[in-house]
Amino acid sequence: MKIGIHAYAYCSQWSNESLDLINRIKDLGLDFIEIPLMVLEDFDVNAVSKRLSKVGLDVVTSTILDEKTDITSDKPEIRANGVEYLKSCTKATHDVGGTSLSGVIYSQHTKATRDRPTEQTWKFSAECLKEVAQYAKTLGVTIGLEPVNRYETYLINTCEQALKLIDMIDEDNMKIHLDTYHMNIEEKSFYESTKLAGDKLIHYHLCENDRGIPGTGLVDWDGIFKALAEINYRGYAALESFVDMTNNMNTWVWRQLALSGDVLIKEGATFIRIMQEKYGLIE
């Protein structure tokens, strides 16, 4: 299992001013960085690719959809915008050497609605993501659906729902990205939902119930790592804790969750590696 960290542990928006984080994360002994692609125009593919190559650090990417790229919109032009946006994110991922793009990519993040999703909602999402997955396959990129809590999406809150959409898409490079913060709200069991993901699991966000340092709160880490060992998980797992508000998504960071990004990494990664060793996930 590869251990990394989301860039938002240090910065509120990715730009070339964030490039030194790649060196910093490598020096702290992690395997990869997760870079958000919410503002693609600020993502310098050449600069990121060169720095990753020079430092020798792996990368995954993630993003969300907004009202202009909502692939569940009733408006065909907005759905088309969403498909093109996700294809652009896929291309950027490939161009910096990444093979995994995931996030809230199945519907608008924090969509204002009072209605439950209809079958047409599911069909719109599946049709659009099928096109994205087929394109991603030509670039060797796997797409991950991240279930998030009910306050951030009305479509996919659980691993079971993600599997339903994956079945509808029917492409072998559509996978699942779990997140302990959201699971703590929506799942009945950390163990069962992780087991349910099985070989479709490609990414895991590791954070506490308050999105703080792993091991300091209420998350069932033994259940998670028992399941990860049973499915022989060898994919990506990123510490994810935000340090600031951003201009491109809601993070709801009203208080400091760690003394610093370095403290988050050192204490969080130490705990995660203890759990890896306990359950035989150290290679």
Quick check: is 160 catalytic? Answer: no
Question: Which residue of the set 34, 187, 208, 240 is catalytic?
Answer: 240
Interatomic CA distance for residues 161 and 257, integer angstroms: 30
The answer for residues whose C-beta is within 8 angstroms of residue 277's C-beta and 6 or more apart is: none
Interatomic CA distance for residues 224 and 244, integer angstroms: 28
The pLDDT score that the predictor gives to residue 92 is 98
Selection from 132, 136, 122, 183 nearest residue 157 by Cα: 183
Q: Where are the domains of the chain?
A: 2-278
pLDDT digits 0-9 by tens, 179-213 = 999 999 999 999 999 999 999 999 999 999 998 88
Q: Does domain 2-278 have CATH number 3.20.20.150?
A: yes
The pLDDT score that the predictor gives to residue 242 is 62
The pLDDT score that the predictor gives to residue 258 is 78
The pLDDT score that the predictor gives to residue 265 is 84
Selection from 109, 20, 117, 7 nearest residue 66 by Cα: 109
Paired tokens of 169:
């898409």
Cα Rg of the chain (Å, integer): 18
Question: Which residue of the set 34, 131, 146, 152 is catalytic?
Answer: 146
261 contacts 10 by C-beta, under 8 angstroms: yes
Q: Name residue 58's amino acid.
A: D
> For every one of its 283 residues, what pLDDT tens digit does the chain have, with 9 covering 90 and above?
999 999 988 888 899 999 999 999 999 999 999 999 999 999 999 999 999 999 999 999 999 999 999 999 999 999 999 999 999 999 999 999 999 999 999 999 999 999 999 999 999 999 999 999 999 999 999 999 999 999 999 999 999 999 999 999 999 999 999 999 999 999 999 999 999 999 999 999 999 999 888 999 999 999 999 999 999 999 999 998 765 556 666 677 788 777 877 888 889 999 999 999 999 987 6
66 contacts 103 by C-beta, under 8 angstroms: no
pTM of the model: 0.94
Interatomic CA distance for residues 198 and 233, integer angstroms: 8
Quick check: is 146 catalytic? Answer: yes
The pLDDT score that the predictor gives to residue 247 is 66
Interatomic CA distance for residues 14 and 242, integer angstroms: 13
Interatomic CA distance for residues 215 and 58, integer angstroms: 25
